[in-house]
Chains A and B, each alone.
Chain A
């Protein structure tokens, strides 16, 4: 009993040849489907290059456009060919020319030998896993898609809209429950022949020809009719980025792929010389006979998606400059604002620093200078104490300060005599911890030895400024 491999190829023929030779060397017969869009010359050269291997067969060719039936038709042809020509095949592994075995073929064979009746195919109903990008999940099965998504997007979208408007719905053939999952599966001869020789197949095929992206649903749905033992996961490691395109593996992913313990990975960049060298010629004996463990790789790749879509909160830089209210957090960490405390308590700042261990600044927004902790001329991230520079973008001055000092709590004093541009931000930022002793600014005036008329005028100014600058004064009070 052995494992047969169906390989779908449409480019990078030199790499495909390399991978096919690797499979054959490992004892696996291979059936190849070459996209009909590939020109005859390239095709012939490819066939010629592999002509020394009688374990490799080429199937009838179908034109494969992404998201259309051709890919399923090609898979059907190649699978049928493989099962007919090589009766000793028990499991069929579906792969593409850019898939690469990460572990020795013998380990995959042994793994499948000990699970002779198991079908490995990711297969879930649309409601179970709403992972699709672009909004078409259940509708893939109930609308018609006669227009090309790639070449004729406007017609594609328009026709979907029209069908939604008139509430058009196709009927799913009786007995079928639509399932979806990764295109890359490994199924048993029993299950595959049951699907391919089904008397109803013509009927099912006619239905799936109009389903959107049938390569992610044809086998995934039909397998539910016949298989007695489905493991709903793919043995092929493949990751998708934030736009739903497959992540491509490069040389720098070598260690990551090694540690994944997965049998096969896609997609590999054709020029990733080091990956091909390591996994195909040295026969990657680095991995031991363990279960595939895509968890580690999953974490790293979902982190990449998270970074690309949500980013690091509180970071403003050359490639992350979010629109207002799209920041996922204005600042990167909590900080404290004290209003009136320095006026009421003598030596408040050093006391606070001693008690909390936090970094305590003076009035960061004082009109004449930035009062950094210790009244230094510059601070973390080489921010300088120039008030004009600060007021040029006072909100970003604070977001930068908080970002630059990650890991250390920042506190600063604030009051009506300060530049007020950040009042609104302080009131709306959940990281701002604002404590206010209202009216404490009057104490300084009271203690000053000024003429009464001057004091009155300044008090009016400060009081006024305070009210104008924070229309939501209530929200600014201790939360």
Chain B
């Protein structure tokens, strides 16, 4: 199906806000270290688990994404207030 071209214009250039959301990636969850290790053992992913090898290697260095300025996730309204997403035209 052909979709309207406007759907590709995801941000407003005249100062207004369009509706937008946020995607929480599993990479940023605390459980990810164990998950990466497990997946590496299972070896069920494409290209010889290439991607998970890279994750595991990165995790060896124990990257801590949490800092003093991090915020605990509450709900989508919080993300809206922080300016990470927007209701746009929704009321």
Q: Which of A's residues lie within 8 Å of B, judged by CB? A: 239, 241-242, 247, 253, 256, 300-301, 303-305, 307-312, 315, 317-323, 326-328, 378-382, 403
Contact = CB atoms under 8 A, between A and B. Distances in A.
Contacts of B70: 382
A308 to B, nearest CB: 4
A317 B86 contact: yes
B15 A310 contact: yes
20 contacts: A239-B91, A242-B16, A304-B88, A307-B87, A307-B88, A308-B12, A308-B89, A309-B14, A311-B86, A312-B17, A317-B83, A318-B11, A319-B20, A319-B86, A321-B13, A323-B13, A328-B15, A378-B68, A380-B69, A381-B69
B69 A382 contact: yes
A451 B91 CA distance: 67
Interface string B48-91: 00000000000000000001111000000000000111111111
Contacts of A320: 11-12, 15-18, 86
B88 A321 contact: no
Chain B, interface residues (CB within 8 Å), range? 20 to 34
Contacts, number: 92
Which of A242, A319, A379 is packed against the most chain B CB atoms within 10 Å?
A319
Contacts of B13: 321-323, 326
A319 B15 contact: no
Contacts of B17: 307-308, 311-312, 315, 319-320
A317 B81 CA distance: 12
B6 to A, nearest CB: 12
A240 to B, nearest CB: 11
Given A308-B89, A378-B67, A403-B83, A319 B19 contact: yes
A322 B17 CA distance: 9
B83 A247 contact: no
Nearest to A317: B83
Which of B10, B14, B68, B85 is packed against the most chain A CB atoms within 10 Å?
B14
A3 B68 CA distance: 64
Contacts of A310: 15-16
A268 to B, nearest CB: 14
B10 A318 contact: yes
Nearest to B22: A318
Contacts of A308: 12, 16-18, 88-89
Given A241-B89, A300-B91, A304-B89, A323 B14 contact: yes
Contacts of B11: 318-321
Interface string B1-32: 00000000011111111111000000000000
